[in-house]
Structure 1
């Protein structure tokens, strides 16, 4: 079996899964649509001319600073045409496809029909944002009122729901997290049962690098500060300093990954984000390489034990957003706890999430050896917390959408537990507050 992983690279997921499969003797390769800034793919020049052209056009389209709008349109159109040639080339070479981040080469129904007709094994892997209901994501409403954001969110919700259901129709398996699986109609593979493929690492130990005296060094490196709750995190640090805590707070934005890694080696622990539906996203995973624990806020922290087996939960200080300050204070006060949590996190990612071990699980999907314990039923989901958005903001958005677009706009028909959660959210928000 020859396996292709495509078309989007995120934090080394594709490259690491390819390497893990190869360690198992599987003939695996990756095609990604643009050059990643961290150069995860070291085999670019070995790929065919058509694949390199497709990737080069995507890289130019995403260039910073961007080209003028007409040039960007031309680049996107050209890449879209070349994508068909990449697809037709791939069907001659590969038996199985693992599509990452909910995308394919052409993002068309025809492509999936073709692969299905040709008997190709198809697996979709969701990384969160592409399948999460848009009204649960601050990325759709940041800096906007419900009235301003709602039309866009309703349209996006309809589109995302259709995309998820299209994937379900043609894929053999869809991998998604219970915190982002609300639009599924069929059982999906629990993302936490699979894990994040991470490479072998030889990083310094926490015991050697942790501060022995002086201020506790805390690192925060948000990719999108507004969505990560950086303002609230800064307020927590300011409050703790006012209470007498000695803190050296480091915030990195838009710096090379090498600089982030240097700070990870020097810090005592990290604060990832305020609103997350996973205990350990990519930044917290990178911190775990160094044995550094992560404080992560998120409403899903109250649900994680309900939907994820204990052994699959990555170790972090995963708490409700309103518990962030007391949790940070505990990690400052209790050095032993800090070190033990960091060591647990490192053992987890080097063991449970080692690229070869994660690849073994994906190989089981490819071979249809899927235990029932890996499957998650959307009928059992009840979580409707937000990512990058506070509970208050989420309630206001839900109320506005309901009042102006109706129940159908939420795309949750036939899911009693989620409908009950939505009803509960609506009951907590006065009907006239955001009219």
Structure 2
């Protein structure tokens, strides 16, 4: 497919970590006619180009979504769906789009195809069965109708082996600040911003911090959850060390944002996945050596400075919105 300003791409119908909005904006800057659309039924942190309130009951949601589908079905060439959701319930739109000759992309962000019970034993059997069946349904419909599948982290390739890895795009907002390399001595602030404490392994970090404090180290845990963007920025900038997930095997957007700000990042990165990000300036840990690694970073200010300085350039080359958008343009050309 020839990709230019005449090619129209819809990113829909949900916003995960602001990805559909960031990508649509970046694609437009690259000359592609891209639009972001989201359905929402509660207060949300992000705003798409098109925001559709679809209510809180199934009947209203179905009618609203059908109306939206009828309005946009002939308006785009590529339908880029996020989080394994589409414009109509139960993927009813997919066969129609295929019959009309439209191209379909599924972009996976995590829990829609990654079994959460792999990292927690708190799920009941019936819940596990429900999740497993839903993820199987997603995979079946993707195989039948998607022209391409994409994962934002390479650990997800285990659940979508035919997908292509394209990293998440960071908002240019995080690359616009003057870098403040953490070089202070005294109390070290360790920041952690989990979207799910269970999946991110937050309990291990809390125990590690408590152990370091009992040893007499001057260390403080800043646990950031569900805060407005302006407040998040304040927390991010004052941090000395960032800890991302400790169980999954790859880093998330939080780690990329912290690297962009020049902060040293600690995260569990699987050895077999490191090839996907050469030069990744992250200290890889596991639950067994977390205390040891944090102890060293808290004491070694120079090590924190060195790691922090490597982060912004890596993010510009690997996660900047333009870089990621151009990778998607290459993908679109092959559809």
| TM-score of the two chains, using structure 2 as the length reference | 0.89
Matches within 5 A, 1:390-409: none
**Native 8 Å contact 1:204 1:265 kept in 2:** no
Report the counterpart of residue 130 of structure 1 in structure 2.
112
Q: Which has the higher strand share?
A: 2
**Equivalent in 213, 238, 260 of residue 241 of structure 1:** 213
Is residue 157 from structure 1 mapped to residue 132 from structure 2 by the alignment?
yes
Report the counterpart of residue 395 of structure 1 in structure 2.
none
In the alignment of these two chains, the number of paired residues is 325
**Equivalent in 18, 23, 38 of residue 45 of structure 2:** 38
Q: How far apart in 1 are the matches of 2:226 and 2:77?
A: 39
Report the counterpart of residue 233 of structure 2 in structure 1.
261
Matches within 5 A, 1:96-111: 96-111=78-93
Report the counterpart of residue 292 of structure 2 in structure 1.
326
Matches within 5 A, 1:192-211: 194-200=166-172, 201-207=175-181, 210-211=182-183
Q: How far apart in 1 are the matches of 2:249 and 2:12?
A: 24
Q: CA RMSD in A?
A: 2.2
The runs of at least 4 aligned residues of structure 1 exceeding 4 Å deviation read none
Residue 353 of structure 1: how far off its partner (Å) = 1.1
The gaps in structure 1 that reach 5 residues or longer are 62-73, 370-435
Residue 9 of structure 1: how far off its partner (Å) = 0.5
Residue 36 of structure 1: how far off its partner (Å) = 6.4
The SS at the match of 2:256 is: helix
Residue 111 of structure 1: how far off its partner (Å) = 1.2
Report the counterpart of residue 341 of structure 1 in structure 2.
307
Residue 137 of structure 1: how far off its partner (Å) = 4.5
Q: How far apart in 1 are the matches of 2:292 and 2:162?
A: 38
Kindly provide the CA deviation profile for residues 283-311 of structure 1, in whole angstroms up to 9, marking residues without a partner as x.
212212211122123xx523323xx4343
Q: How far apart in 2 are the matches of 1:254 and 1:189?
A: 30
| TM-score of the two chains, using structure 1 as the length reference | 0.69
Residue 5 of structure 1: how far off its partner (Å) = 0.3
The SS at the match of 1:93 is: coil
**Equivalent in 140, 144, 167 of residue 169 of structure 1:** 144
Residue 90 of structure 1: how far off its partner (Å) = 1.2
Please say which structure displays the higher CA radius of gyration: 1
Residue 20 of structure 1: how far off its partner (Å) = 1.0
**Native 8 Å contact 1:20 1:197 kept in 2:** no
The gaps in structure 2 that reach 5 residues or longer are 1-6
Residue 276 of structure 1: how far off its partner (Å) = 2.5
Kindly provide the CA deviation profile for residues 38-81 of structure 1, in whole angstroms up to 9, marking residues without a partner as x.
3343x4xxx4xxxx5xx2235xx4xxxxxxxxxxxx3x320122
Instruction: Indicate how the Cα distance of structure 1 residues 288 and 187 shifts in structure 2: closer, same or farther if over 3 A, else same.
Output: same
**Native 8 Å contact 2:9 2:34 kept in 1:** yes
Q: Which has the higher helix share?
A: 1
**Native 8 Å contact 2:80 2:107 kept in 1:** yes
